[in-house]
């Protein structure tokens, strides 16, 4: 982002920054309706896009790998699983387990199939998505994967995945010698996130019950600690590098679009808005507000996911080129110069 040698470029960026501020307001609106009706574009809006990110490696046979999952309340642990799966082949096909199968095997999911599909399709490592996949790899589905989808390997995390009768959901794939494993990411799970949501709503009720206090009051260290939504995630520079798009910055004439927000509990509405923002220019820079800013703006019980967790979720999105980890609330001229 070469801003200082030409004023036209400053103007260009400023215009897009202004667009970014407008989008921030939309983002805040979306986040508050997280458990309400989120407008998720119909699937054809998402799925055909996947091909344009497809990188062709000429020559040798391309290895196609399959990973399935519920991907409920999708988090950076899921994204990291898919990142690792993609590294085991050339093309990653993801099966998103149907609502019925999740209900039968784990209990009802929080997000709908459409939302879960939108989230998975928005990840930069995903090439194809199969909706309504079965929870277990059955004989019939395994052959469909091999013959119809040309899958070479079926992949799952190194945690046991047992069916209600105690058998291994991947037993047939293992027997066929077509199973590979990736390392599960410690410190996050959908259950843990549901726990954080419940803790946070408990905090909110306590705050509302306190005389003269409002849920959007000043951040209070004690209430954060009381809330118990403490993350066990240890951010490392290696993980950030793994999720990043390398050191490639915007080209000399690139139109850089800036959008900022909390991006707490990354959801289908975030994918949609990031896609729209990216379409306004050539390079999308996303500012992730610090935990303190989110607390100040939304209340002490937020954010549910801390800064580094939120940054990884945003970085995993295919429409994002770069993130500012801990962006300020206000977009100033000085800040744009610093980013240049
Ligand atoms: N996964 C992972 N690390 C996590 C959570 C999930 O590597 N922290 C992997 C799983 O091993 C699986 C894939 O992500 O291969 C999809 O997981 P999913 O079916 O959505 O559910 P869970 O394994 O139950 O994970 P969670 O409880 O977080 O939903």
Give pLDDT, residue 202.
76
Which numbered atom of ligand 1 lies nearest the CA of 157?
11
Model pLDDT for residues 60-88, shown as the tens digit of each residue: 899 999 999 999 999 999 999 999 999 99
Neighbours of 146 (CB within 10 A): 17
Whole-number Å distance, alpha carbon 159 to ligand 1 midpoint, is: 8
Domain boundary residue, one of 148, 182, 216: 182
Whether the CB-CB separation of 16 and 258 falls below 8 Å is answered with yes
What is the 157 CA–ligand 1 centroid distance (Å)?
7
| pTM as predicted | 0.81
The whole domain housing 104 covers: 64-182
Residue 315 inside a domain? The answer is: yes
CATH number, domain with residue 152: 3.40.50.620
C-alpha R_g of the chain: 21
Asked if 137 and 239 sit in the same domain, the reply is no
Higher per-residue confidence, 13 vs 183: 183
pLDDT at position 248: 83
Within 10 Å of residue 322's Cβ, how many Cβ atoms? 20
Do 178 and 246 belong together in one domain? no
pLDDT of residue 177: 98
Choosing from 115, 149, 182, the residue where a domain stops is 182
Cα of 328 to ligand 1 centre, how many Å? 33
**248 and 322 co-located in one domain:** yes
Work out the average pLDDT over 307-322. Answer: 97
What's the pLDDT band for 276 if we cut at 50, 70, 90? very high
- Quick one: pLDDT at residue 50? 54
CA 182 to ligand 1: nearest atom: 7
Is any ligand 1 atom within 6 A of the Cβ of residue 290? Answer: no
Instruction: Tell me, yes or no, whether 87 lies in a domain.
Output: yes
Tell me if 113 is assigned to some domain: yes
The answer to whether residues 101 and 135 touch, using CB atoms and an 8 Å cutoff, is yes
Q: Whose CA is nearest to atom 14 of ligand 1?
A: 78
Residue 16 confidence (pLDDT) above 80: no
Based on the domain organization, do 243 and 316 belong to the same domain?
A: yes
78 lines ligand 1 (CB under 6 A): yes
Count: domains in the chain: 2
241 and 177, same structural domain?
A: no
| 212 vs 216: CA distance, rounded Å | 11
At residue 55, does pLDDT exceed 80?
A: no
Give mean pLDDT, residues 324-328.
Answer: 95
Q: Which of 162, 169, 184 gets mutated to test ligand 1 (max ligand atoms within 8 A of its CB)?
A: 184
Structure confidence at residue 208 (pLDDT): 66
Question: Is residue 310 situated within a structural domain?
Answer: yes
Inter-axis angle of helices 307-315 and 76-87, to 10 degrees?
A: 40
Per-residue pLDDT, 14:
28
Determine which of 109-118, 131-140, 229-238, 290-299 has the lowest per-residue pLDDT on average: 229-238
Classify residue 285 as exposed, middle or buried by CB count within 10 Å of its CB (0-12, 13-18, 19+). Answer: buried
In a domain? residue 78: yes
Q: Ligand 1 centroid vs 186 CA: distance in angstroms?
A: 10
Residue 187 lies in a domain: no
Order the strands of the 153-157 sheet from edge to edge.
128-133, 91-97, 64-69, 153-157, 179-182
* Longest pairwise C-alpha distance within the chain: 70
Please tell me the distance between residue 69's alpha carbon and the centre of ligand 1 in angstroms.
7
**Residue 260 near residue 24, CB atoms below 8 Å:** yes
Residue 200 belongs to some domain of the structure: no
Mutate to test the pocket of ligand 1, among 108, 189, 234 (most ligand atoms within 8 A of CB): 189
Of 121, 151, 182, which residue is a domain's last? Answer: 182
Phi–psi pair at 122, nearest 5 degrees:
-80, -5
- For residue 71 and ligand 1, the question of a CB distance below 6 A is answered with yes
pLDDT tens digits along 218-261: 444 444 433 445 666 777 899 999 999 887 889 889 999 999 99
From the CA of 185, give the closest atom in ligand 1: 3
Kindly state whether residue 45 falls inside one of the protein's structural domains.
Answer: no
The atom number, within ligand 1, closest to the CA of 155 reads: 15
Å from CA of 155 to ligand 1 middle: 12
Percent of the chain with pLDDT over 90: 63
């Amino acid at each position: 982002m070469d801003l200082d040698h030409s004023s036209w470029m400053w103007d260009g960026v400023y215009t897009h920054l202004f667009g970014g501020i407008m989008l921030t307001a939309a983002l805040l609106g979306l986040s508050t309706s997280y458990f309400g009706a989120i407008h998720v574009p119909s699937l054809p809006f998402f799925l055909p896009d996947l091909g344009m990110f497809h990188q062709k490696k000429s020559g040798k046979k391309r290895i196609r790998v399959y990973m399935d999952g519920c991907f409920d309340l999708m988090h950076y642990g899921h994204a990291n699983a898919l990142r690792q799966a993609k590294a085991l082949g050339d093309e990653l096909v993801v099966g998103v387990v149907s609502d019925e199968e999740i209900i039968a095997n784990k209990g009802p999911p929080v997000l709908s199939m459409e939302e879960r599909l939108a989230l998975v399709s928005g990840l930069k490592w995903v090439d194809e998505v199969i909706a309504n996949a079965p929870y277990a790899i059955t004989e019939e589905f395994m052959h469909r994967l091999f013959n119809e989808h040309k899958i070479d390997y079926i992949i799952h995390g190194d945690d046991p995945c047992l069916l209600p009768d105690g058998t291994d959901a991947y037993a047939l794939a293992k027997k066929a010698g077509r199973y590979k494993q990736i390392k599960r990411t410690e410190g996050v799970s959908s259950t843990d996130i549901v726990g954080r949501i419940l803790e946070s709503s408990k905090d909110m009720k306590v705050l509302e019950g306190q005389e003269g206090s409002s849920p959007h009051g000043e951040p209070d260290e004690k209430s954060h600690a009381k809330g118990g939504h403490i993350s066990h995630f240890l951010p490392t520079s290696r993980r950030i590098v793994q999720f990043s798009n390398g050191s490639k910055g915007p080209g000399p004439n690139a139109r850089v679009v800036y959008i900022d927000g909390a991006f707490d509990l990354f959801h289908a509405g975030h994918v949609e808005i990031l896609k729209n923002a990216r379409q306004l220019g050539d390079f999308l820079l996303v500012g992730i507000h610090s935990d303190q800013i989110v607390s100040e703006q939304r209340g002490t019980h937020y954010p549910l996911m801390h800064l580094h967790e939120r940054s990884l979720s945003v970085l995993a999105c295919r429409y994002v080129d770069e993130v500012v980890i801990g962006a300020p609330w206000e977009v100033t001229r000085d800040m744009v110069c610093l980013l240049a």
